[in-house]
Amino acid sequence: MSSSVSRLESWPDRNVVPRWLYISVWALAIAIAVSGIIGVGLGPDTRLVGYALLAIGGGVLAIFSLSTEVRMTLMRDTEEWLPFAVTAVGGFSFVVGVAFAADVFTSVVDVPLSVRLMVLATAFQALLLTVDISFVRLSLRVRVVVLVLSHGAIFAGSLFTVLGEPIVPRAGLLLYASGFASLLLHTFWARTLSSMTDTVDGKLDRQRWETLLLGAIVVGILGATLIVLSAPSGALTLQSPVSRFFVTITGTAAIVALAMISAPQSSPSTLRWVAGPTMAVTLHVMVVFIIVNGIVLSVFVAIPWLFAPVFVGFITLLLVGVALNYAMLVNVWRRDRKDSHSEPTPILEDREVTVVVSAMNDVNALSASLRNNVAALSPLPFLLVPAARSTDGTTELMRAVQDDYPDRVRVVEGTGGSKGGDLNEVWDLVETPYALVLDADEVVGLSFVTQALRVLSARPDVGIVQGRKSAMYPDTSLLSWFTSMERQHSTWIDQSFSDDILAAAHFAGSAAVIRREVLPAVDGFNPKMLTEDIDLTTRLYLETDWDIEYVPEMVAKELLPGTWMSLLQQRERWSRGWAQVAARRIGPVFRSWRSLGVRRTFGLSWLLFLAVSAPLFTIFPALTLPTIVLENPLGLSPAVALGLAMFLLPERAISFLYAVFRDPEIQMSMTPRRIVATVVFAYLWIAFGWVVQFHSLYLHFSGAPQIWAVTQKEQPVVRSDLEGEEVTL
């Protein structure tokens, strides 16, 4: 096995031909193919020469890709015949397909242009499919989804090409663009993850080539869309200068994308600027966005009558979501008007609750929270769980607190590899009936615990009492203001509605009091899940009779992400984790509607759907462009359009304004500046949510590792005079 891995670490420009020769021929092939594209776009006088150059350059690039896969297949230490057979069949199919497309067999049989184009597309499909057969770094489900969507789009494009002979129709072009973009991406992921090293330089080279590939895909699909828009009726032609220009741009992008499949191992120094995280996230979002919209638009162009029902479904989905958000406002307004209950007396005579604090590389947050929690939550025992991977002094700080409170504090190093795994390992050490689970940056008072115990005593069916998380420093910077207002809306309005109306409260991973027997009832946390708390929630509802209660009056103060990138990384992990749970649990939730009840089934399904809803909610460009492309688009009367706008558009601003300025925990004065900033940020959060979901989906389908990473939090203010019931930093 080790010899196989070491040999797979080589790259196509090594060992077979000199590196300089490989790079030279590869670059020359790109230049020849691009020259051919330019020749085709210049006009009839240079078109034949352009086709010839395109065939030569593109053919060399395709052969490079095929030869690389053949070589990698031969290098594998395996006796399985399937990879060899698929590679051989793929290569043979590609050669025959190119020969057919080039009309080599004209003397034998007369092949129509539409058929030759279809055969050429199929040949490239066979070529790219050879890369996937031995690729095991992605789950089978992901591979099937990507391959079905990409090959399905290409097959549909070929069908429309044959039906629309002699020239590729508009729908065929869009389907080809979206399908081959998806397939090239999948091929690149498979090739690089199977063969490139995990060294720092290898990762940087991979990121640079990937950036060029993503940029080419963006340009290619946008170019194909512009070609379609420039020819609003009939078949596509190269008669107008505008269409020829767009064809040149699109073809050049296609050549660059194809070249990335067989790119050399090392990238030129001039590409250093393209490997930054901002560039990567931007391109990830753009690629997913335009592929989704490209496929939807191609369907509308091919089958115009589908536009009306899809448009109605889209508007209906928006109306349902916005109506629920208005209902959330009504619910929190009603709660706000109720008389506040008297606080329970914060006295705990017996040690009923163990405080469990897990942390990894959180020494800064712990320095502000841990001693204050130990002092404020007297006489409760503490179980501190530093991750074994911690390297910043987290373990040492926890042991120092243990030395100061030896009768109440115990430190047990967690070796589970994740937060969920660590909690599983130490849960048997919890000797009290209940456990208060806290993150390293959270601070609570005794009233938090006593309110939870009051609920648990009154309702034996409740297994988890979830408290609300509120920002310690909500307005110290633009980032904290941006983040805090969304947390206010989420934890005060959204989660209260989920519990009160939908009966679908969820465990949020911390700031919760849990009965000791709850975790063993579902075999603990799943350490492989990025959001082990949401997975536990769904399994608790599906497999047990335990309920979850959300009490917004139980407030834990928390630190917010300290940088914009850390906020993105935190939400990316949440998004990928929610998507994981949605893929596994939304089906069982639907099938268990009798035991769950209609309200809870809808509530859980809606929460899981929202985690993966961005591709559906962001097809508005594909719903707008048909008004230009289609001859008979769906029309709305001005009165109906105005009514929809008045209902849909203001909701976000109203919800966030109420959350920010009516929040009982965070008192904010209503200044004009804050009002304007709240409205602007409210709508920016929609776009930010889409960015997070698209970026997460890209990472998931590309096989990026699922890492439980620590979120860099804002710098805490350490105060030593915090004791008693109310703890505020």
Read off the amino acid at residue 560.
L
pLDDT tens figures, 610-636: 988 888 888 888 887 766 555 545 556
Question: Helices then strands (H, E): number in the chain?
Answer: 28, 7
Q: CA 712 to CA 694: how far, in whole Å? A: 22
Q: Which residue has the higher pLDDT, 275 or 328?
A: 328
pLDDT tens figures, 353-405: 999 999 888 888 888 889 999 999 988 999 999 888 888 888 999 999 999 99
Mean pLDDT of the chain: 81
Strands in 121-259 per DSSP E: none
Name the maximum alpha-carbon separation found in the chain.
98
Q: Which residue has the higher pLDDT, 656 or 53?
A: 656
Q: SS3 for 585?
A: helix
First-residue to last-residue Cα distance in the chain: 54
Residue 193 tokens read as: 């993850």
CA nearest to 495, candidates 411, 551, 445, 435: 551
pLDDT given at position 723: 37
pLDDT band at 721 (very low <50, low <70, confident <90, very high): very low
Category of 716 on φ-ψ map: left (φ > 0), alpha (ψ -120 to 50) or beta: beta
Q: What is the pTM of this model?
A: 0.85
Helices in 377-477 by DSSP H: which ranges?
Answer: 394-404, 419-426, 446-458
Region 545-567: mean pLDDT is 92
Q: Which residue has the higher pLDDT, 465 or 169?
A: 465
Q: CA 377 to CA 348: how far, in whole Å? A: 9
Q: Is the confidence at residue 89, as pLDDT, over 80? A: no
CA nearest to 261, candidates 203, 194, 198, 201: 194
Q: CA 549 to CA 565: how far, in whole Å? A: 33
Q: Is the confidence at residue 103, as pLDDT, over 70? A: no
Q: Which of 40-49, 56-65, 200-209, 352-361 has the highest mean pLDDT?
A: 352-361
Cα 211 off chain centre by? 18
Q: CA 383 to CA 414: how far, in whole Å? A: 11
Residue showing tokens 């490239």: 124
Q: How far is CA 114 from CA 100, 123, 170, 226, 299, in A?
A: 11, 14, 13, 22, 20
Torsion angle defined by CA atoms of residues 21, 23, 25 and 31, in that order, rounded to the nearest 10 degrees: -150
Element (H, E) at 496: helix 495-500
Q: Residue 341's CB: how many other CB atoms inside 10 A?
A: 9
Instruction: Print the SS3 string covering 630-657.
Output: CCCCCCCCHHHHHHHHHHHCHHHHHHHH
Q: CA 185 to CA 191: how far, in whole Å? A: 10
Task: Kindly report the backbone phi and psi dihedral angles of residue 719, in degrees, each rounded to the nearest multiple of 5, phi listed first.
Answer: -130, 140
Q: CA 275 to CA 211: how far, in whole Å? A: 7
Q: Residue 406's CB: how many other CB atoms inside 10 A?
A: 9
pLDDT given at position 636: 62
Instruction: Specify which residues 353 forms β-bridges with.
Output: 434
pLDDT tens figures, 241-279: 777 888 889 889 988 988 888 888 777 777 766 667 788
Region 91-115: mean pLDDT is 56
What is the share, in percent, of the chain residues with pLDDT greater than 70?
78
pLDDT band at 6 (very low <50, low <70, confident <90, very high): very low
pLDDT given at position 190: 75
DSSP state of 395: H
**Window from 114-118, 539-543, 620-624 with minimum mean pLDDT:** 114-118
pLDDT given at position 655: 95
Q: Is there a contact between 255 and 61 (Cβ–Cβ < 8 Å)? A: yes
Residue 415 tokens read as: 């070796």
Q: Which of 51-60, 414-423, 424-433, 639-648 has the highest mean pLDDT?
A: 424-433
**Window from 229-238, 398-407, 569-578, 693-702 with minimum mean pLDDT:** 229-238
Q: CA 443 to CA 365: how far, in whole Å? A: 10
Q: SS3 for 146?
A: helix
Length of the chain: 729
Region 217-222: mean pLDDT is 91
Q: Is there a contact between 576 and 706 (Cβ–Cβ < 8 Å)? A: yes
pLDDT given at position 557: 94
Radius of gyration of the chain from Cα atoms? 29
pLDDT given at position 240: 73
Q: Is there a contact between 228 and 173 (Cβ–Cβ < 8 Å)? A: yes
